């Protein structure tokens, strides 16, 4: 524990209490607690602990009252400080568990302080409970970004994955590579995660080919892993492999703009402009960096007359005087597949692009049910 109570380390009263004085102080503490005067209760508990010997039969009860008072008064700073102080006290595992429960509630949204509470309680656990507490401590360290402390935890299959993450965050890439040589050190469900960080460690040490080999061996690849592989093969100009990963990425909403744009780029490089345009159009519906790049490239292809504009059916739902108002409606109503396009002297909100008019009619019906009764079928060139 980093926090210490300075006044406990300075002058300590050399005399104790008579039985009568002790009993009086006990009654005062109980009365103050019942009256919810928690701050004064804490001071009186402190006085009791200072003035009574370590083997006093009521010390554990006073410690419990102390922590309940700190909890009820939301005194977070002193709660942590007193955890440090009572480490030398002889208290039961049950009392320690109660203090632990109070701390976990008090610091529900503060992972760093929560970690100190778990550290305190860990010494009172054993067997299965101890293992569970160690795992909880590891996950709490991750949330608190206390990377160095994770590395001090025991060597355990359920915890070692967090050590891998810690080594990566600390940029100790060579140590990470050495630590992950044997997958038998990790739980089967953590192997993919371990391999991912091992691959990133190779990448960050300049061993890109090894990085790709490791990540490709992962059974269940996350979208981030797939994007990593797609990007690697694009840079290597291995477009066959890049295309395979990009097509997988089109199924992931978060990365589909990226995937469609680069699928278009691959076809563009092969001079299959019609196929490239189809991918660019799919990317262009996103208001993102790759969506804007796709729109720009579509315009260039049209100006170069290598592709012709196609007619699409769409549904126009409203007209505004300014583009800003039109965009605001899309955002406010959370309209999907809708866009703003200049219409005569106005700005129209259009939804959907359909080759078949029947599909456009279905879309109009849906929009009318949402309240856009004046929605009409229109055509646009793309």
pLDDT for the residue numbered 88: 82
pLDDT of 339-381, one tens digit each? Answer: 999 998 999 999 998 989 999 999 999 999 999 999 999 998 7
Query: For 348, phi and psi rounded to 5 degrees?
Result: -100, 150
Domains and CATH numbers, the chain: 155-220 (no CATH), 229-308 (1.25.40.10), 311-381 (3.30.70.1070)
Q: Quickly tell me which residue has 């879309």 as its tokens.
A: 363
The rounded distance, in Å, linking the Cα atoms of 189 and 375 is: 52
Instruction: Report helix, strand or coil for 350.
Output: strand
Determine contact, residues 80/71, Cβ cutoff 8 Å: no
**Confidence class of residue 201 from pLDDT cuts 50, 70 and 90?**
very high
Q: Quickly tell me which residue has 């990365």 as its tokens.
A: 255
Nearest to 8 by CA among 68, 59, 49, 44: 49
Name every residue whose Cβ is closer than 8 Å to that of residue 115 and which is 6 or more positions away in sequence: 137, 140, 141, 144, 146, 149
Of residues 224 and 4, which shows the higher confidence score? 224
pLDDT for the residue numbered 141: 97
Q: Taking the CB of residue 312, how many other CB atoms lie within 10 A of it?
A: 18
The rounded distance, in Å, linking the Cα atoms of 4 and 134 is: 24
The rounded distance, in Å, linking the Cα atoms of 312 and 299 is: 17
pLDDT of 121-174, one tens digit each? Answer: 999 999 999 999 999 999 999 999 999 999 999 999 999 999 999 999 999 999
C-alpha triplet 249, 255, 259: angle, nearest 5°: 55
pLDDT for the residue numbered 311: 85
C-alpha triplet 251, 254, 259: angle, nearest 5°: 60
Determine contact, residues 264/276, Cβ cutoff 8 Å: yes
Name every residue whose Cβ is closer than 8 Å to that of residue 78 and which is 6 or more positions away in sequence: 5, 42, 70
Which run of H or of E encompasses 69? helix 59-72
What is the value of pTM for the model shown?
Answer: 0.69
pLDDT of 72-113, one tens digit each? Answer: 999 999 999 999 888 888 899 999 999 999 999 999 999 999
pLDDT of 230-247, one tens digit each? Answer: 999 999 999 999 999 999
pLDDT for the residue numbered 66: 96
Which residues pair with residue 148 across a beta bridge? none
Q: Tokens for 259, please give them.
A: 């995937």
């Amino acid at each position: 524990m980093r926090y210490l109570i300075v006044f406990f380390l300075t002058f300590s009263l050399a005399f104790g209490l008579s039985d009568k004085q002790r009993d009086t102080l006990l009654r005062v503490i109980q009365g103050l607690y019942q009256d919810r005067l928690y701050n004064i209760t804490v001071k009186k508990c402190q006085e009791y602990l200072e003035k009574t010997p370590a083997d006093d039969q009521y010390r554990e009860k006073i410690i419990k009252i102390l922590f309940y008072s700190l909890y009820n008064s939301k005194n977070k700073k002193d709660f942590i400080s007193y955890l440090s102080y009572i480490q030398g006290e002889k208290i039961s595992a049950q009392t320690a568990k109660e203090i632990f429960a109070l701390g976990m509630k008090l610091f529900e949204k503060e992972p760093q302080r929560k970690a100190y509470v778990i550290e305190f309680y860990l010494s009172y656990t054993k067997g299965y409970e101890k293992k569970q507490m160690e795992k909880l401590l590891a996950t709490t360290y991750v949330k608190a970004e206390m990377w160095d402390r994770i590395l001090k935890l025991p060597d355990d299959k359920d915890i070692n994955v967090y050590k891998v993450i810690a080594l990566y965050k600390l940029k100790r890439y060579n140590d990470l590579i050495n630590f992950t040589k044997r997958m038998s050190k990790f739980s089967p469900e953590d192997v993919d995660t371990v391999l991912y960080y091992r691959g990133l460690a190779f990448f960050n040490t300049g061993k890109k080919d090894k990085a790709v080999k490791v990540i490709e061996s992962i059974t269940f690849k996350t979208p981030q892993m797939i994007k990593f592989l797609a990007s690697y093969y694009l840079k290597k100009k291995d477009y066959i492999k890049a295309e395979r990963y990009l097509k997988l990425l089109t199924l992931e909403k978060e990365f589909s703009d990226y995937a469609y744009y680069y699928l278009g780029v691959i076809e563009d490089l092969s001079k299959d402009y019609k196929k490239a345009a189809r991918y660019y159009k799919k990317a262009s519906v996103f208001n993102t960096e790759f969506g804007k790049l796709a729109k720009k490239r579509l315009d260039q292809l049209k100006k170069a007359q290598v592709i012709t504009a196609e007619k699409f059916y769409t549904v126009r739902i409203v007209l505004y005087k300014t583009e800003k108002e039109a965009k605001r409606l899309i955002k406010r109503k959370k309209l999907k597949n809708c866009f703003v396009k200049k219409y005569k002297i106005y700005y129209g909100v259009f939804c959907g692009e359909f080759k078949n008019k029947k599909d456009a009619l279905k879309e109009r019906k849906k929009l009318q049910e949402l309240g856009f009764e004046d929605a009409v079928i229109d055509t646009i060139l793309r």
